[in-house]
Amino acid sequence: MDLRDPVVRLESLCDSGTLRLLSEEDSSGVVIARGYVFGRAVIAYATSSGGSLGADGCARIVWAVDSAAREGVPVLGLWHSAGVRLAEGVDALDGVGHVFAAMVRASGRVPQICVVLGPSCADGGYGPVLSDVVIAGPGGSEADVVCSSDLLAVEQARLVTSLLGDRGYYSAVADQEMLLAELLPARELALAMFDSCAVELQARTAPNIVIALGRMGGHTVGVVANNGQLDGAAAAKAARFVRMCDALRVPLVVVADVVDAARRSAKLLHAFASASVPRVTVVPHKIYGGGYVVMNSRSLGATAVFAWPDAEVAVMGASAAVEILHRGRLAAEPVESREALRRTLVQEQELAAGGVARALELGVVDEVISPGSTRRRIVEVLASSRERRSGGMIPL
């Protein structure tokens, strides 16, 4: 068995015995098929191992993508391409352009998942970039998920397909015995939100923010969690994820723990403000200044904002505020008593700011919840929001 054979690759992608070829492996360089992934119908295509793309092969990919969009099923592409077929010249180049146009037409309508199983260069490199999620085997550098083997890459593609292709139904979630408050940094906290296995995307890029797909209370959700500074790279990473989830109707859960937000984080602000899916924010520890607004605040249309009992919601930390508001007073204080005065002023500033109590009073935080009840309250809000949007009953 040649594990690089496109038919073998398609068989490993689909549930056992469900693959139905719609074309044979021939000079076109592309095989297309129907099948099932975790019981969910999909359309898939695979390029020949290391081969080039000609006009006929491109036409097959266009058919696969357009058919998936028309039928409302996920489309999966297994890419290993040397680019356009030079011998065909402009005909092949035009064919590749039609592939890209089809992928753009399908964007936001159905999940498009790409698996890179070898070099995908020149014009063949645009296809993966236009997909919603890119998964690569060894050597992949810019993929959303990089795996240690091609087989693992295909397994991850199956998992992502099940999450995006079948979002599931909400079910009741009991309060957790394990306190989420003990989990830091943000990655541990974010991944602990899910029912079971989840897929973290772009783990190698901007590690100060975590984006992941998984199920919460039986329903697929996307999680965005940050810890510390929100810079431009982190904001761009999260903004693309928020837009993808919104387009594919995946609810969002935001874990906001921000002490500083750069001006370039406006990309993420725009993504949240324009999103229409239900989205819940949890403030576990502290959120200051522009970071409060950017990370799916009430003012940007969050469905609900929860805070843990010891959370801080403020323009800035009390210590930093004292240094600005009382700079002259501190400078005039004798050195030996300056630190004692600073501590007193910090305590006064904390009382004046009001902390999470003031945020509750203003309505920018809806409820203070215990860490152990976090998952249950999120699922209740998301399920209730779905009921209102659909006009039906979504049982817990």
199-216 per-position pLDDT tens digit = 999 998 998 899 999 999
Give Rg (Cα) of the chain: 25
DSSP-based helix, strand, coil % in the chain, nearest 5: 45, 20, 35
The encoded tokens of residue 149 equal 């083997």
Which 3 state secondary structure label does DSSP give 168?
Answer: strand
Boundary of a domain, candidates 165, 191, 219: 165
Report the run of H or E that residue 346 belongs to, with start and end.
helix 335-353
Cα 225 from chain centroid? 10
Q: Indicate whether 122 and 186 sit together in one domain.
A: no
Instruction: Evaluate whether residue 332 is within a structural domain.
Output: no
Q: Which amino acid is at 208?
A: N
Q: Indicate whether 159 and 187 sit together in one domain.
A: no
Euclidean distance between CA atoms 238 and 25, whole angstroms: 39
Q: Indicate whether 135 and 284 sit together in one domain.
A: no
Q: Indicate whether 158 and 204 sit together in one domain.
A: no
Boundary of a domain, candidates 131, 165, 199: 165
Per DSSP, the residues of 226-273 read E-EEE-HHHHHHHHHHHHHHHHTT--EEEE--EEEE-GGGHHHHHHHH
Q: Indicate whether 70 and 110 sit together in one domain.
A: yes
Q: Indicate whether 89 and 187 sit together in one domain.
A: no
Instruction: Evaluate whether residue 315 is within a structural domain.
Output: no
Q: Indicate whether 17 and 96 sit together in one domain.
A: yes
Which residues, other chains included, contact 222 with Cβ-Cβ below 8 Å and sequence gap of 6+? Answer: 211, 212, 213, 241, 242, 244, 245, 250, 251, 252, 253
CATH of the domain at 296: 3.90.226.10
**Contact of 87 with 27, CB cutoff 8 Å:** no
Q: Indicate whether 104 and 245 sit together in one domain.
A: no
Instruction: Evaluate whether residue 258 is within a structural domain.
Output: yes
Instruction: Evaluate whether residue 140 is within a structural domain.
Output: yes
Main-chain dihedrals φ then ψ at residue 114, nearest 5 degrees: -115, 135
Instruction: Evaluate whether residue 277 is within a structural domain.
Output: yes
Q: Indicate whether 237 and 380 sit together in one domain.
A: yes
pLDDT, tens digit, for every residue of 236-290? Answer: 999 999 999 999 999 999 999 887 777 788 899 999 999 999 999 999 888 877 7
In Å, how far are 91, 246, 320 from 98, measured between CA atoms? 11, 26, 56
Question: From first to last of its 396 residues, what are the pLDDT tens digits of the chain?
Answer: 566 788 999 999 999 999 999 988 787 889 999 999 999 999 999 988 767 788 999 999 999 999 999 999 999 999 987 777 777 788 888 988 999 999 999 999 999 999 998 877 655 567 788 999 999 988 777 899 999 999 999 999 999 999 999 999 999 888 875 566 666 667 788 888 899 889 999 998 998 899 999 999 999 999 999 877 889 999 999 999 999 999 999 999 999 988 777 778 889 999 999 999 999 999 988 887 778 889 999 999 999 999 998 888 875 455 655 566 667 776 777 878 778 877 776 666 665 555 677 777 777 899 999 888 999 999 999 999 864 454 433 333
The encoded tokens of residue 128 equal 């993966």
- Boundaries of domain holding 255: 180-308+369-390
Domain count of the fold of the chain: 2
Boundary of a domain, candidates 126, 142, 165: 165
Handedness of CA 102, 103, 104, 110 (dihedral sign): positive
Q: Indicate whether 268 and 380 sit together in one domain.
A: yes
Instruction: Evaluate whether residue 384 is within a structural domain.
Output: yes
Q: Indicate whether 258 and 386 sit together in one domain.
A: yes
The encoded tokens of residue 356 equal 């999470």
Buried b (16+ CB within 10 A) or exposed e, 240-261: bbbbbbbbbebbbbbbbbbbeb
Instruction: Evaluate whether residue 351 is within a structural domain.
Output: no
The encoded tokens of residue 58 equal 């491109």
Instruction: Evaluate whether residue 334 is within a structural domain.
Output: no
Q: Indicate whether 134 and 283 sit together in one domain.
A: no
Which single residue is written with the structure tokens 């719609």? Answer: 22
